[in-house]
């Protein structure tokens, strides 16, 4: 079983201060769950994103906002669980990383308020710089059959170099690889994929991207891990779900043969996703 923050990871929970309203976000849901099931507090690794300024809605790594974000996240858990990893959702280019990490280390890690620091949506250069100032417990990055960027842009290689596990978000392509969407009109009208104009889910790109789903459909349920490949660090997928049934399905461990992996590789070599991962207004690879 892989380890993150010195713990065996059977269950990695990923949330954020801005996942929902500030006063009713994923931290509140975690607190409510642990109030009912306190025995699970030590069985999960809790990874929380923060750092968004509530007034500007931009990443803000200033000392003032760093303290505000961390204090708010800690308070919302009401002592039921310590945050194992705290990460800014993106790097703030306006504030030196060393300043932010020094503050978090001295005021929050060394005082026992949180366990440690992770990174989110960063480029390889940021990882190489960050390890000079702090122990990076994990790097959160998008990876799926649609998004294999980190395997080519140096991010996975940097993580492997420093023994940093990758927390892989959107491993099923924001739902596209589940098979529940066959055409653009299948997307719910209130879906964030529509309202935030995610390029890969726009009508002009949707059908092109469905071609990949169709090609891997017969082996999709036999997906395995990239982690056992040379030069690739431990990868811990964190698929989202809205029902208990989907959580159970996503939690099953299924091995994939080398032949099946090669079959997928051959498909990916010939396929280029249509559209970028995020709308232009959302920063990536920070």
Q: Considering the domain boundaries, does residue 141 fall inside one?
A: yes
Higher confidence at residue 254 or residue 197? 197
Q: Considering the domain boundaries, does residue 101 fall inside one?
A: yes
Q: Which long-range contacts (CB under 8 A, 24 or more apart) does 248-256 make?
A: 250/172, 254/221, 254/222, 254/223, 254/224, 255/224, 256/222, 256/223, 256/224, 256/225
Q: Is the pLDDT of residue 220 over 60?
A: no
Q: Considering the domain boundaries, does residue 78 fall inside one?
A: yes
Report the first-to-last Cα separation within the chain, whole angstroms: 30
Q: Considering the domain boundaries, does residue 262 fall inside one?
A: yes
The range of the structural domain enclosing residue 142 comes to 3-172+227-269
Q: Considering the domain boundaries, does residue 240 fall inside one?
A: yes
Based on the number of CB atoms within 10 Å of its own CB, is 19 exposed (0-12), middle (13-18) or buried (19 or more)?
middle
Q: Considering the domain boundaries, does residue 275 fall inside one?
A: no
Residue 242: give its domain's CATH number: 3.20.20.100
84-95 pLDDT, tens per residue?
A: 999 999 999 999
Q: Considering the domain boundaries, does residue 193 fall inside one?
A: no
Share of residues in the chain with pLDDT > 70 (%):
77
Number of domains forming the structure of the chain: 1
Per-residue model confidence (pLDDT) at position 224: 44
125-157 pLDDT, tens per residue?
A: 999 999 999 999 999 998 877 778 888 889 999
Q: Give per-residue burial for 130-140: e unless 16+ CB within 10 Å, then b.
A: beebbebbbbb
Q: Active-site positions?
A: 19
Q: Considering the domain boundaries, does residue 274 fall inside one?
A: no
Indicate yes or no: pTM above 0.85. Answer: no
């Amino acid at each position: 079983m892989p380890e993150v923050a010195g713990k065996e990871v059977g269950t990695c929970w990923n949330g954020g201060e801005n996942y929902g309203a500030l006063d009713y976000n994923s931290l509140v849901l975690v607190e409510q769950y642990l109030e009912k099931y306190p025995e699970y507090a030590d069985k999960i690794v809790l990874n929380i994103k923060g750092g968004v300024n509530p007034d500007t809605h931009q990443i803000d790594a200033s000392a003032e906002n760093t303290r505000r974000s961390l204090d708010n996240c800690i308070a919302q858990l009401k002592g039921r669980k310590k945050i194992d990893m705290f990460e800014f959702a993106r790097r703030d280019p306006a504030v030196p990383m060393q300043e932010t990490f020094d503050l978090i280390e001295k005021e929050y890690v060394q005082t026992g308020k949180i366990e440690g620091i992770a990174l989110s949506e960063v480029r390889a250069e940021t990882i190489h710089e960050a390890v000079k100032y702090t122990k990076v417990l994990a790097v959160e990055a998008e990876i799926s059959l649609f998004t294999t960027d980190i395997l080519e842009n140096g991010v996975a290689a940097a993580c492997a170099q420093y023994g940093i596990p990758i927390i892989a978000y959107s491993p099923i392509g924001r739902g596209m690889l589940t098979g529940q969407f066959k055409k653009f009109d299948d997307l719910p009208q209130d879906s964030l994929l529509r309202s935030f104009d995610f390029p890969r889910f726009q009508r002009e790109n949707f059908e092109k991207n469905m071609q990949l789903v169709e090609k891997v459909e017969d082996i999709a349920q036999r997906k395995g891990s990239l982690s056992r490949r040379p030069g690739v660090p431990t990868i811990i997928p964190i698929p989202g779900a809205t029902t208990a049934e989907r959580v159970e399905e996503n939690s099953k461990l299924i091995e994939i043969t080398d032949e099946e992996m090669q079959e997928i590789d051959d498909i990916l070599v010939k396929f280029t996703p249509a559209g970028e991962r995020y709308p232009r207004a959302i920063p990536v690879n920070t």
